[in-house]
């Protein structure tokens, strides 16, 4: 029986995991697990192209993420200068071009590309490139080169960057951060506010007049840390008709989950839905909720909701939404339709 809901996952670190951790996304999660130690540094793999296709994940926001030296517990290549960040980012951009040589994968840079992927009779995955942390952009005017290279979404922050305050490093946009907002508006980028500090978040919304999202963020209502969105931030995103992708990382779903014993069974799809319902309560409808799992984004299967073994299990989330009282149109929107609305509006023709 065909899976009825087309799924969009708005956050996956495919290139970083391939180039820094040696995890080939063309292998299934179980093939990756078989090739790694019993307890790999980043946990048990959850993703692979076969897993996404089995779950009817048809569009992925694939990141260009480079890690600052000394700023992450994640292994792999790091940078300490803008030029080093640029080189690592360009390497990941080239990796996605090579990955698109796989007949199951294509890059989405226009609305026409999106339509081809969504309408394809043969299951295919389209990648929309998202830069997570803007440090690979040496100067704001260089954003044009990244747009020409296929990047369509930029998140200025991860932790603190040269452009913006971020997670664990509160602060405003820098002067070049303000310039970047204006340049992104001019070029037609989508602004990803995930990881932005609250001060820089609101500055960015004042300066940037294009489409705004939070690719992978949960709510402070349930996890009161600066990594999540405050109610004021959620309302601001709703006002801009943005979409917020739920992160399927237990530490971001249940407050102090790790400190309380890191029990996988303590977090379920119902926990994710609590965050979504809070957004719906603030918005007045379900059109601003989506999925941005961040699977394998520094955590593994052991730190995902109890129902998840691999990305192939995502269709089960649709059933959980239905049981929680969401109607068919709302479920279809959350699983992918809300993200498609954003892309159809923001991508060039």
212-229 residue pLDDT tens? 999 999 999 999 999 999
Nearest Cα neighbor of 104 from 124, 127, 128 is: 124
Using 50, 70 and 90 to split pLDDT, how confident is the model at 77? confident
Which domains, from first to last, does the chain contain? 18-346 (3.20.20.140)
Using 50, 70 and 90 to split pLDDT, how confident is the model at 1? very low
C-alpha dist (Å) from residue 214 to 35, 102, 253, 255, 310: 34, 29, 16, 20, 23
For 160, residues 6+ apart whose C-beta sits below 8 A from its C-beta are 166, 168, 169, 171
Using 50, 70 and 90 to split pLDDT, how confident is the model at 83? very high
| Structure confidence at residue 75 (pLDDT) | 63
CA distance 13 to 162: 21
Using 50, 70 and 90 to split pLDDT, how confident is the model at 4? confident
Instruction: Give me the torsion for CA of 127, 156, 78, 11, rounded to 10°.
Output: -30
Please write the tens of the pLDDT for every residue from 243-297.
999 999 999 999 999 999 999 999 999 999 999 999 999 999 999 999 999 999 9
CA distance 110 to 339: 14
Range 234-238 average pLDDT: 98
Please write the tens of the pLDDT for every residue from 104-138.
999 999 999 999 999 999 989 999 999 999 999 99
CA 332 to chain centre: 19
CA distance 162 to 168: 15
pLDDT higher than 80, residue 52? yes
| CB-based contact 167:156 (threshold 8 Å) | no
CA distance 92 to 278: 36
Range 81-98 average pLDDT: 97
| Structure confidence at residue 2 (pLDDT) | 41
Please write the tens of the pLDDT for every residue from 134-151.
999 999 999 999 999 999
| Structure confidence at residue 23 (pLDDT) | 96
Percent of all residues in the chain with a pLDDT value above 90, rounded to a whole number? 95
Q: Alpha helices of 23-81 — where are they, by DSSP H?
A: 29-35, 49-54
C-alpha dist (Å) from residue 330 to 34, 81, 248, 318, 324: 38, 44, 19, 10, 11
* Average pLDDT value for the chain: 96
Using 50, 70 and 90 to split pLDDT, how confident is the model at 94? very high
């Amino acid at each position: 029986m065909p899976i009825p809901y087309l799924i969009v996952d708005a956050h996956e670190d495919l290139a970083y995991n391939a180039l820094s951790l040696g995890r080939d996304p063309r292998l299934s999660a179980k093939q990756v697990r078989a090739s790694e130690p019993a307890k790999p540094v980043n946990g048990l793999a959850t993703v692979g192209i076969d897993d996404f296709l089995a779950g009817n994940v048809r569009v992925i926001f694939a990141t260009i993420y480079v890690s600052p030296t000394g700023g992450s517990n994640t292994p792999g290549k790091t940078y300490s200068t803008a030029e080093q960040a640029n080189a690592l980012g360009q390497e990941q951009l080239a990796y996605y071009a090579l990955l698109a040589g796989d007949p199951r994968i294509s890059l989405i840079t226009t609305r026409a590309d999106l339509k081809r992927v969504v309408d394809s009779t043969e299951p295919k995955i389209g990648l929309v490139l998202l830069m997570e942390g803007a440090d690979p952009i040496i100067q704001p005017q260089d954003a044009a080169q990244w747009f020409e290279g296929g990047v369509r979404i930029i998140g200025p922050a991860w932790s603190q960057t040269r452009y913006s305050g971020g997670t664990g490093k509160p602060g405003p946009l820098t002067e070049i951060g303000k310039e970047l907002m204006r340049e992104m508006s001019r070029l037609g980028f989508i602004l990803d506010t995930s990881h932005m500090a609250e001060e820089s978040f609101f500055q960015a919304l004042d300066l940037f007049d294009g489409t705004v999202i939070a690719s992978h963020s949960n709510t402070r209502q349930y996890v009161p840390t600066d990594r999540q969105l405050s109610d004021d931030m959620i309302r601001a995103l709703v006002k801009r008709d943005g979409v917020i992708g739920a992160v399927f990382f237990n530490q971001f779903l249940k407050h102090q989950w790790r400190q309380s014993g890191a029990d996988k069974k303590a977090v379920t799809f119902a926990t994710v839905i609590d965050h979504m319902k809070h957004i719906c309560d603030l918005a007045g409808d379900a059109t601003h909720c989506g999925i941005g799992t961040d699977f394998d984004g520094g955590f593994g299967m052991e730190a995902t909701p109890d129902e998840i073994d691999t990305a192939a299990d995502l269709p089960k989330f649709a059933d959980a939404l239905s049981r929680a009282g969401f109607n068919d149109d709302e479920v279809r929107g959350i699983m992918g339709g809300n993200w498609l609305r954003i892309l159809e509006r923001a991508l060039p023709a």
